[in-house]
Structure 1
Amino acid sequence: MIATSEVEAAARRIAGRIRRTPVFQDGPVLLKLEFLQHAGSFKTRGMFNRILTAAEHGLPAAGVIAASGGNAGLAAAYAARELGVPAEIYVPVTAPPVKVAKLAKLGARVVQAGSEYAEAYEAAVVQAEVTGALFCHAYDDPDMVAGNGTLGLELAEQLPDGFDTVLVAVGGGGLIAGVAAALHDRARVVAVEPVTSAALNAALEAGGPVDVAVSGVAADSLGARRVGTIAYRTAAAAQLPSVLVDDQAIVEARRQLWEDYRIVVEHGTAAAQAALTSGVYVPEPGERVVVLLCGANTNPADLA
């Protein structure tokens, strides 16, 4: 598990390198617009913290390597470019073309391997052993989690009057573990997962991380076959609730964000909003709920 002090240290380490993303309120709706972060997702916070922490002891000449459904790779590529180190990113062949193209634009070497994240991960691990590059896990790494958690500290600063609940979309769990560490004594954190990619929910039922089948509209960003150990331990210890949303609810929530606010997010991000719009999570009267909109690396063509 990650301590709040580790998140605070990460906030100091990455200060000046990330954007302070706004909170938007429309009536009872509070939206944390983290999709405006550099490289289009919260993972840039974690990747900067991971690489900068390692840099304190010297980075290998081969630079960094990461496996990703897209967003972690984009974050690694962006952070590496800004820090002047090489980056090699492994993604599955099913990764959205918009993400693959952006990886190349950021200057990373892109390798497509396997049909899902787990297969790209295995290939990246082998390559890191061959080249000696710093392996940057997409979610199950203490530095990554602590960096992601800075989003929670930022949120607390932005809403000094407090809030009750934060809805967090979960894939491998790197975001929810960090946010829970940052807000463990300030707000309730609720995990939201697609029915078709529910690794954390399955782990909580099984008493530990287990492999799950992965499919559905949000699989490119939330399609971890197995939740991270850090996330599982954090969720189990804090007894974080987990709710599931189906693909139709995710698609409708994504469209609703566009129609109501002209916000363009990926399906994985819309999962958090879908918990509210589908009624899977029903706030109590007066409950202040924040929805983390954590990524926007998507093709908006299907929103028209």
Structure 2
Amino acid sequence: MHLLSNSLLPCHNAAEEGVVVKPEISYDTALPTATTASGPLITPLVYSTGLSDRTGHDVWLKLETANLSGSFKDRGIFKSAELGYAQHGPETHLIAASGGNAGLAAATAAKRLGVRCTVVVPKKTEDKVVRKLQELGAQVENKTVDVLDDADMLARTMAALDPKGVYIHPFESWDTALGHSSIVQEIRNQLLAAGVPNGRPDVVTCSVGGGGLIRGIIHGINTMISQHPTFGSPKPKLIACQDFGAHSFGASFNRWLLDPDAGATSDGNTVISLSAITSQATSLGAKTCSAAALSASVAYSQSDVASSSGPAPYLSTVIVDDAISASACWQFKRDHHIEVEMACGAALSPIYLNKRILDRVLARESFTNGAASSEAPERQTIVVVVCGGSKVDGAMLERYESEYGEADAGWRVMIDGQDV
């Protein structure tokens, strides 16, 4: 596979086509000073020969696993942390609620900035995650609350009582979404360097939890289109992926898609709140997604061309059983030697179940009652945001392989509100 990156990352030898290249990054040199949380680190964009052959499309992997904390969360949370530091300086106290990636990103940002950090996590948070947070220097509060919603309320209270406290939400803040939007500029530059016309992907597939990432991607695409109009000719299609039991965003978007008047309010679109998170993909586990992300997604999904077929040609939702996301995780490890958690597996599921999912999403004609168009889509440039994640290890992936295999039959898939 091809590796595109900045000069801080290793070069790929074209003669080694087909050989998996895992980037080796020195984070101490990638970030210029201890007083900035972010810096010039650009995550690799990898062309996957195997997945391209599998799907019949050009599949690129945006490896957010290369971020400092191991996930895309660094982009937005680092930006929010820097804004807090600009206000309070070295006395800044970052306070977050998260049992996983967002907390690790906040703790990593605090370490880079040299400031205090407190992360409130539910009691049942994995010991491995707690240890990682503590190793990064964060104070971990894990003996008080049972669920993430209560952890969030406690973190907000702590920040309100601390004059130097900066509360960092995992996905709701506009500053966080703005930080996530940087991924689009990188993708464009990297695809341009690879000779892809206009640096424009035809399709971007990503996981959606609370909605911070997809809101950032949408803002990034809209910004690129305003600066480089050919980037939007046409707009890249987004595939928003979730697991059943952690699918507030998908349920909310599908309600609008199937009945545009049902979820609309004067201020935008209302969200469907889940009564509980029943998915194992706990990093997707927002019982209520961001209303701002939902509204941005609805607006992005629609075409300016009146003759366009369907209400949402530029965004599709894909919701799958945990087994399908888990299966994608172990297969991705087999194919690319990179471990990702189940929440990331959701974004990979359209690629690994390409006949059942990807071909249906990309079909030129809409499908009815689960019957896909017989017309095969033309070859597309597809970017998969490999968002990473901390809740995974080799033993877990072996269990996924043993329990679920390739999960190619018998498990539920929903595309744009219809079971297929």
TM-score where L is the length of structure 1: 0.89
Question: Given the alignment, which residue of 37, 62, 65 partners 2:95?
Answer: 65
2:25 is aligned to none
Q: Which amino acid aligns with 1:299?
A: D
Q: Determine the C-alpha separation between the residues in 2 that align with 1:115 and 1:227.
A: 20
Question: Given the alignment, which residue of 104, 110, 122 partners 1:92?
Answer: 122
2:378 is aligned with 1:285: yes
Question: Given the alignment, which residue of 135, 145, 163 partners 2:201?
Answer: 163
1:51 is aligned to 81
Question: Given the alignment, which residue of 194, 201, 218 partners 1:180?
Answer: 218
Measured at CA, do residues 92 and 154 of structure 1 come closer, stay the same or move farther in structure 2, by a change above 3 Å?
A: same
284-293 or 58-67, larger mean C-alpha shift:
58-67
2:240–2:316 CA contact under 8 A, matched in 1: yes
1:195 is aligned to 244
Q: Determine the C-alpha separation between the residues in 1 that align with 2:358 and 2:281.
A: 19
Q: Determine the C-alpha separation between the residues in 2 that align with 1:214 and 1:177.
A: 22
Question: Given the alignment, which residue of 122, 126, 131 partners 1:101?
Answer: 131
Question: Given the alignment, which residue of 308, 312, 317 partners 1:242?
Answer: 317
In structure 1, list runs of 5 or more residues that go unmatched. Answer: 1-12
1:20 is aligned to 42
SS of residue in 2 equivalent to 1:110 = strand
Offset at residue 37 of structure 1 (A): 0.6
Superimposed CA distance per residue, residues 35-66 of structure 1 (whole angstroms, 9 cap, x where no aligned partner): 11111111111122112123333358351101
2:280 is aligned to 217
Offset at residue 293 of structure 1 (A): 0.6
Q: Determine the C-alpha separation between the residues in 1 that align with 2:87 and 2:396.
A: 46
1:243–1:281 CA contact under 8 A, matched in 2: no
Question: Given the alignment, which residue of 141, 144, 158 partners 2:173?
Answer: 141
Question: Given the alignment, which residue of 162, 166, 181 partners 1:131?
Answer: 162
Q: Determine the C-alpha separation between the residues in 2 that align with 1:174 and 1:70.
A: 15
Measured at CA, do residues 176 and 255 of structure 1 come closer, stay the same or move farther in structure 2, by a change above 3 Å?
A: same
1:269–1:295 CA contact under 8 A, matched in 2: yes
Measured at CA, do residues 65 and 103 of structure 1 come closer, stay the same or move farther in structure 2, by a change above 3 Å?
A: same
18-27 or 41-50, larger mean C-alpha shift:
18-27
Q: Determine the C-alpha separation between the residues in 2 that align with 1:97 and 1:167.
A: 31
Offset at residue 80 of structure 1 (A): 0.9
Q: Determine the C-alpha separation between the residues in 2 that align with 1:68 and 1:230.
A: 20
2:370 is aligned with 1:276: no
Q: Which amino acid aligns with 1:295?
A: G
2:101–2:389 CA contact under 8 A, matched in 1: no
1:193–1:243 CA contact under 8 A, matched in 2: yes
Offset at residue 84 of structure 1 (A): 1.1
2:90–2:114 CA contact under 8 A, matched in 1: no
C-alpha RMSD over aligned residues: 2.0
Percent identity, aligned pairs only, is: 31
Superimposed CA distance per residue, residues 188-242 of structure 1 (whole angstroms, 9 cap, x where no aligned partner): 22211111110111222244123113121212x1101111122112112112321
In structure 2, list runs of 5 or more residues that go unmatched. Answer: 1-34, 53-58, 226-230, 256-262, 264-268, 302-314, 363-376, 399-420
1:74 is aligned to 104
Q: Determine the C-alpha separation between the residues in 1 that align with 2:136 and 2:38.
A: 20
SS of residue in 2 equivalent to 1:281 = helix
Count of aligned positions: 291
2:37–2:109 CA contact under 8 A, matched in 1: no
Q: Determine the C-alpha separation between the residues in 2 that align with 1:254 and 1:120.
A: 28
1:35–1:42 CA contact under 8 A, matched in 2: yes
Q: Which amino acid aligns with 2:246?
A: S
Q: Which amino acid aligns with 2:382?
A: V
1:233 is aligned to 295
Measured at CA, do residues 98 and 66 of structure 1 come closer, stay the same or move farther in structure 2, by a change above 3 Å?
A: same
2:69 is aligned with 1:39: yes
SS of residue in 1 equivalent to 2:123 = coil
Measured at CA, do residues 82 and 196 of structure 1 come closer, stay the same or move farther in structure 2, by a change above 3 Å?
A: same
Measured at CA, do residues 247 and 16 of structure 1 come closer, stay the same or move farther in structure 2, by a change above 3 Å?
A: closer
Measured at CA, do residues 124 and 70 of structure 1 come closer, stay the same or move farther in structure 2, by a change above 3 Å?
A: same
